[in-house]
Every structure is written in C-alpha cells, then in structure tokens.
C-alpha cells in the first residue's frame, strides 16, 4: 500500500511539476519510492561518483564520468528529457554554480512549456537557488510522526523475531526518537539489540547520545556547558523566584499536567547590556537540570530560497528532539529586526519570525525558550503580546542592594579570604550606574593590580582606585540607556529585581 507521502509524490509527478526536490538522507529508500511511482517513464540519474547513469542499475549511459553540465546539455538537446524522469544526487556544490542553474532553469522551462519530463533532486539539505525557485516543489519525507516512529520500531522487532515491548516503553521510545529519521532509528535499535539482545528503558540513553551528535553536526545549535548556579546571580530576585517556580513544574511535569498546569513555554529577558541576562539563561538550565542549547541566529541565515526558514525549522526540530532542554535565543532582536520595514532581507526575516511564532504558540514539548534581548524597540510587537512567552522580564541596572551582592559574589569567587575586610558600602556608593559586567571588570582589574603591586591581599583602596578610572555603562551609553528605560516602563514588563 502506498504511504501518504508516496501518494502525494505520485500526484505531483503525474501533474507535470518540473522539479521535485526531495530533502532526505535516505537515498536508498527514495530510490525505491521513485521506482515504484515512476510508471512507464524512463528513469535516468546523475550522481557525482558515476556521472550519468541508468537509474535502476547505475550503469553509465553516455560515457563514464560525464559531468552534470554535460548531462544537462544532453537532456536539453533534441528534447531528450521528454518521457523521462531525471534524478540528480550530490548536487549541493552545484547549487551556486550559475551555469548549472541556468541549464536547470532551461530544462524546467522546456518541461513546463511542452515536454513530459520531471527533474527530481535528492539532497539531505535544502538549497534552492532563487532562479529556479518557482519551478521547485519540496518534499520532506524523513520527518516521522509518532505513529510512523512506532511502526518503524514494530517493524524492526518483527524482522528481528523479537517480542513486542510494553505500551509504556513504546510511548517513551516514540517520544525519544522524535526528530530522527528512519535510518537513524534503525541504527540505534540495531545497536541496542547488539548490546543486550532486547529493547529496554536503558536504550533511551543511546537515543540521547545520537541526538547530541545531531546537534553538533547541525552547526546551528550549540550545546553550552553550564556551571553557573542560580546563586551566582546577584540580585534579580523576582526573576530568580519565578525560575524556581518553573523548576518545580518542569521537574514534575506529569503530575503538574495532571493537575491542570500548562507546559511552560519560556521567558523573554530584556534589558541593559551586561546585567546578567546570559548568566540567567545558563543558571536556569542548571537549575532545571536540563541541557542548554544556544541558537546562533547569525548561522541561521542562509543564502538559498527558504534556507533560513528551513534552518529555523531544523533548529526547532532538534531542540524538540532533545527536549526537555532550554533553547536559548541570544540577542533575539538581531534576528528579528527589520520586520515590516520593507528593507532588503525583511521578507526572509518576516517568514522566519512567522515560523518561530507559530511554534511558540502551539508548543507542546518541553523545549523551554529563554530569549534575551537588549533593545526591545527592534522586536516585532507581536512577540511582546501576552501568550507568546509565559513572562517578560526587564533587567535594569543593579540597585544598591544588588551591587553589594554582585561585588560580594565576584570578590568571593576569586579571593574569598578578603571579602570580610572590604568596605562594600563604600564601593556601592561609588558605583551608581554600573552594570554587573562593569563590577566584575572592576574586581578583576583590582585583583590584578594588587598582585602586580606586590600586595598580600585585596583592599577597598585597590578597588576604589580602579573605580575612579573606570567609565561605566551609563557614562558610555547615557542617552540610549535612558530611552531604553522609558520604553521598558511604558511596556509595564515585570521587573527582574525586587
Ligand atoms: P549582553 O546583553 O551584553 O549579552 P548580559 O545581560 O547577557 O549582557 P551577562 O553576559 O549575563 O550580561 O553578564 C556579563 C558578566 O557580568 C557575567 O558573566 C557576570 O560575570 C557579570 N554579571 C552581570 N550581571 C550580574 C549579576 N546580576 N550577578 C553576578 N554577575 C553578573
């Protein structure tokens, strides 16, 4: 029986769409599917290793090693593409080659206008040059839903002559396997069976390791090691109390849901630079005891049509695959700036933003988002509406109590024995307008100069003399900070500090 994907693919093939782009790692499976749906049309293929070959036996057709360019010329000449299905593999490096793109476009035009042919591109990543965008239809068969994953596991067990697993374990496996393709699932199952002859709960560990591999390979997400605890944040008491509440929910999600609690979506932490936003993201992951994945917005932006959205979807799928996790979107305004201003690139950003919003809105997994931003004026207003994030916090410059705590923390981190001899009140008085990062900088420099001067301990005077020669954040950014502060007041965001 045909799967839903095969049925849809056959419809597109029969309706004369010129280029069908199948995004998949599983060439063998795709070969089999193409063979089945091809009807009586002739199948030919180009791949980097063997050149132009017949699809079924991979035997050279013209001469050994004919290039992609020569093959496209051949198919264009004398209308050779007519009544043929032409499968292209290994095309990634050619998708920025203007000659290849032009020839592909010409072939696609011929098909649209008069010929009964189809070009099928099979590739693991989506790379569609603008010039041929309108001729291309995308298929993404590797994304399996829960039911499909369960049937892959069941099929594997049957083929291996193994008995069924409990419904509970099947449910856990199906969740853990989310985001992996059939090939990867089968590999992990084979590994588990080879190791202890049956499937059990401990195999979930293999799945997790495999997913870590995927994250590293993706290049879009980075797993950030976290050592910072919530106690290494000076001040921000409201924010910390809120995170502690969420910890209780996240760590007891089953009973929380049974009680009627919603799955936490995430938090936007906006505010002054250097005041502990990134520090909070790390401490939160540590507190929740789940991995921290940092999304690099710069790496998300691609040069091909749809590539940025595809990267966003992939990042989301990866985060969901390793959930529970914290997905940290650093400097969010950089990614979503320019929406609706009609400037270059804003169209891509708007679509990217749409993908993100829809996901946030419908999110049912435990990928807890922590977005951090300096300048919320650059963020689209939709993002700030209630319901997107569970809460939006505003981090201001530390007040005097907070500065005291931050001084204490950073001195204790490096010279615990000196803390009690330092006049913290005097330091606090002299550092109005300092950010947490400024204070950390002052302490580092004071300790270094005390050492260079040959002192045997750190004193209040060492620190005061560094403060005298320091330009703090509010001196450097005076006006800008003031207008930021006004914006935050206007929005009525929750204050991170008490
Ligand atoms: P940016 O917007 O510039 O990225 P940020 O708000 O994310 O800034 P962090 O990276 O968290 O700032 O802070 C920089 C460093 O300053 C931290 O690693 C930490 O050492 C120190 N720091 C800032 N705020 C605090 C705080 N409230 N308590 C303790 N240390 C702090």
Bridge partners (DSSP) of residue 222 are: 294
| pLDDT score of 163 more than 70 | yes
pLDDT, average across residues 389-397: 92
pLDDT, average across residues 481-497: 81
pLDDT, average across residues 346-375: 85
Across the chain, what does the average pLDDT equal?
A: 87
Please state the φ and ψ torsions of residue 144, each to the nearest 5 degrees.
Answer: -100, 140
94 cis-preceded (ω within 30 degrees of 0)? no
- 235 within ligand 1 shell (Cβ under 6 A): yes
- Lowest-confidence pick of 147-156, 199-208, 278-287, 430-439: 199-208
Give the distance (Å) from ligand 1 centre to CA of residue 297. 20
Per-residue pLDDT tens over the stretch 211-246: 777 777 777 888 888 889 999 999 999 999 999 999
Which residue is associated with the tokens 């420099």? 445
Give the distance (Å) from ligand 1 centre to CA of residue 274. 4
Query: Could you give the C-alpha distances from 95 to 90, 136, 388, 443, in angstroms and in order?
Result: 10, 13, 37, 52
- Look at residue 284 in the predicted model and tell me its pLDDT: 96
Sheet strands (E) in 367-409? 367-373, 391-395
- 275 within ligand 1 shell (Cβ under 6 A): yes
**Token digits for 187?**
């590999």
pLDDT, average across residues 16-22: 92
Per-residue pLDDT tens over the stretch 404-446: 999 999 999 999 999 999 999 999 999 999 999 999 999 999 9
What is the distance between the alpha carbons of residues 462 and 444, in angstroms, rounded to a whole number? Answer: 11
For residue 271, the ligand 1 atom closest to its alpha carbon is: 6
- 278 within ligand 1 shell (Cβ under 6 A): yes
Give the distance (Å) from ligand 1 centre to CA of residue 388. 25
Helices (H), 15-139: 27-37, 68-76, 98-113
pTM above 0.95, yes or no: no
| Residue of the CA atom closest to atom 16 of ligand 1 | 437
Sequence-separated (6 or more) residues with CB below 8 Å from residue 145 = none
| pLDDT score of 395 more than 60 | yes
Sequence-separated (6 or more) residues with CB below 8 Å from residue 274 = 435, 436, 437, 438, 473
């Amino acid at each position: 029986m045909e799967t839903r994907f095969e049925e849809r693919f056959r419809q597109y093939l029969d309706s004369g769409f010129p280029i069908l782009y199948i995004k998949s790692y599983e060439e063998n499976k795709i070969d089999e599917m193409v063979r089945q749906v091809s009807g009586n049309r002739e199948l030919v293929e180009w791949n980097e290793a063997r050149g132009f070959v017949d699809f079924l036996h991979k035997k050279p057709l013209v001469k050994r090693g004919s290039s992609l360019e020569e093959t496209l010329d051949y198919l264009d000449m004398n209308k050779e593409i007519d009544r043929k299905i032409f499968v292209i593999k290994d095309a990634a490096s050619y998708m920025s080659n203007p000659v290849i793109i032009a020839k592909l476009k010409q072939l696609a035009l011929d098909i649209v206008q008069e010929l009964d042919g189809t070009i099928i591109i099979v590739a693991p990543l989506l790379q569609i040059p603008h010039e041929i965008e309108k001729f291309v239809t995308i298929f993404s068969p590797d994304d399996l839903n829960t039911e499909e994953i369960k049937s892959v596991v069941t099929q594997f067990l049957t083929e291996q002559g193994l008995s069924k697993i409990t419904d509970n374990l099947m449910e856990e496996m199906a969740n853990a396997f989310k985001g992996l393709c059939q090939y990867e699932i089968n590999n992990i199952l084979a590994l588990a069976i080879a190791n202890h002859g049956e499937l059990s709960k401990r195999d979930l560990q293999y799945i997790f390791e495999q997913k870590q591999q995927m994250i590293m390979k993706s290049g879009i997400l980075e797993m950030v090691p976290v050592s910072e605890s919530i106690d290494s944040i000076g001040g921000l008491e409201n924010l910390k109390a809120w995170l502690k509440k969420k910890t209780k929910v996240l760590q007891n999600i089953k009973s929380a849901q049974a009680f009627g609690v919603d799955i936490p979506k995430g938090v936007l932490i906006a505010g002054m630079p250097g005041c502990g936003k990134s520090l909070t993201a790390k401490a939160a992951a540590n507190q929740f005891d789940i991995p921290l994945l940092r999304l690099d917005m710069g790496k998300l932006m691609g040069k091909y049509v749809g590539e940025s959205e595809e990267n966003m979807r992939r990042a989301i799928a990866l985060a969901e695959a390793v959930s529970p996790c914290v997905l940290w979107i650093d400097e969010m305004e950089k990614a979503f700036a320019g929406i609706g201003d009609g400037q270059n690139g804003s169209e891509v950003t708007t679509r990217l933003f749409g993908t993100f919003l829809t996901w946030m809105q419908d999110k049912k997994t435990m990928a807890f988002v922590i977005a951090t931003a300096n300048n919320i004026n650059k963020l689209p207003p939709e993002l700030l509406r209630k319901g997107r994030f569970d809460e939006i916090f505003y981090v201001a410059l530390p007040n005097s109590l907070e500065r005291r705590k931050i001084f204490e923390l950073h001195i204790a981190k490096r010279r615990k024995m000196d803390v009690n001899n330092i006049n913290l009140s005097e330091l606090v008085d002299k550092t109005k307008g300092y950010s947490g990062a400024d204070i950390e900088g002052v302490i580092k420099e004071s300790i270094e100069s005390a050492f260079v001067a040959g002192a045997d301990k750190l004193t209040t005077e060492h620190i005061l003399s560094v403060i005298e020669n320091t330009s703090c954040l509010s001196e450097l950014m005076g006006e800008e900070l003031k207008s930021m502060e006004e914006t935050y007041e206007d929005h009525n965001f929750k204050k991170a500090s008490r």
